[in-house]
Amino acid sequence: MSLSPWSATSISVHLQVMRVFALVMLLIALMAFTYAIASAPTRVANRLGLRGLKRQRVLAQNELWASIEPLVRWLGVRLSGILTDEQRAELDRQIGLAGDYMGLTADEYLALTLLSSVAGAVVGAVSGYILDMGGITLIVGIMLGGALPYMQISGVAQERLKNIGRGLPYVIDLMALSMGAGLDFPGAVRQVVEKSSNPDDPLVEEFTLILQTMNLGRTRKEALLEFARRAPVETVTEFVNSLVQAEDRGNPVAEVLTIQATVSRTRRSVRAEEAAAKAGVQMVGPLMLVFFCIMGLLMGPALMNIMAGL
């Protein structure tokens, strides 16, 4: 059944009207969203606590971050209503594992992700126009830009936890020697902080936080449990559990630290041996690949000459 020219024209007009209506509604929604974001009140960055200290350090050292930090803070306030309490707690946990990375908050983390997605979209659009690849590079740019902050914070967190796990046995030794010489637990922690040659060491930062927490009137158990929460490493968990149990049972902390230092050194040696054994097995594949490549380079010309002779 064929349609008359008037019917086809009417359908085309209706489709155009619907498209215009959809475009107008989209523009109205974008304008409402922009107005809601722009009209939200701003706030002053929190300079208190460990995150405030981290923010001040990064602002003093990184000019690029100092230039975009007000925009990230402004946008973070306007996006604060999007996150639920569970999502905000998860983002705070990720930032805490990274050592309060750049002093970010959960809202600013979301704002940084959004800005990174926009930047990735711009780069993808320009690349697609230059390379004549259409919208593929735009989509890839948005995805990579949105994932970049998460990848950066996750990488910093993994490196930080690795450094804490490696350096904790030496710290336990120093604390055991200090308490064996007559110092109490806060004095031993203070020795760790003062004798460190690198104030930016994540382990030194965590012990500084422990010392500050106890100076504020909180118990040693609360400070240690907070340390275990911020650095969920097996070595840290065993260290905190042994000290908490010693406090609950009334055992001498110096003896517990000595035993814990011996156990940590033994476990570190075992892990080094396991890593060396695994490295030998993992090198078999690349070595076999190199061997076959060399054999191909050596035997290839000979095989070609034989085939040419046949």
Q: Is residue 288 part of a domain?
A: no
Range of the domain at 183: 160-278
Q: Is residue 30 part of a domain?
A: no
Q: Is residue 264 part of a domain?
A: yes
User: 193 and 234: one domain?
Assistant: yes
Which DSSP string do the residues of 205-221 spell out, in sequence order? HHHHHHHHHHHTT--HH
pLDDT of residue 6: 47
pLDDT of residue 35: 62
DSSP structure class, residue 4 = P
Residue with the two structure tokens 């100092």: 66
pLDDT of residue 135: 73
How high does pLDDT run on average in the chain?
80
d(CA 304, CA 310): 10
Q: Is residue 298 part of a domain?
A: no
Number of domains in the chain: 2
User: 133 and 173: one domain?
Assistant: no
Q: Is residue 177 part of a domain?
A: yes
Q: Is residue 285 part of a domain?
A: no
pLDDT of residue 105: 87
Q: Is residue 103 part of a domain?
A: yes
User: 165 and 225: one domain?
Assistant: yes
What would the pLDDT profile of 167-194 be if each residue is shown by its tens digit?
A: 888 888 888 888 888 888 888 888 888 8
Residue with the two structure tokens 């969920």: 232
**Distances 234 to 54, 166, 268 between C-alpha atoms, Å:** 26, 11, 11
User: 123 and 208: one domain?
Assistant: no
Query: Comparing C-alpha atoms, which of 37, 22, 116, 114 is closest to residue 78?
Result: 37
Q: What is the maximal distance between C-alpha atoms in the chain?
A: 102
User: 179 and 254: one domain?
Assistant: yes
User: 92 and 197: one domain?
Assistant: no
| Blockwise average pLDDT, block size 10, the chain, 310 residues | 53 66 68 61 54 81 86 84 85 89 88 90 84 79 89 91 86 84 85 80 87 86 89 86 84 80 76 72 77 77 74
User: 176 and 83: one domain?
Assistant: no
Q: Is residue 310 part of a domain?
A: no
pLDDT of residue 296: 76
User: 121 and 170: one domain?
Assistant: no
User: 166 and 151: one domain?
Assistant: no
Last residue of a domain, one of 127, 155, 183: 155
pLDDT of residue 151: 92
pLDDT of residue 153: 92
User: 151 and 164: one domain?
Assistant: no
User: 132 and 176: one domain?
Assistant: no
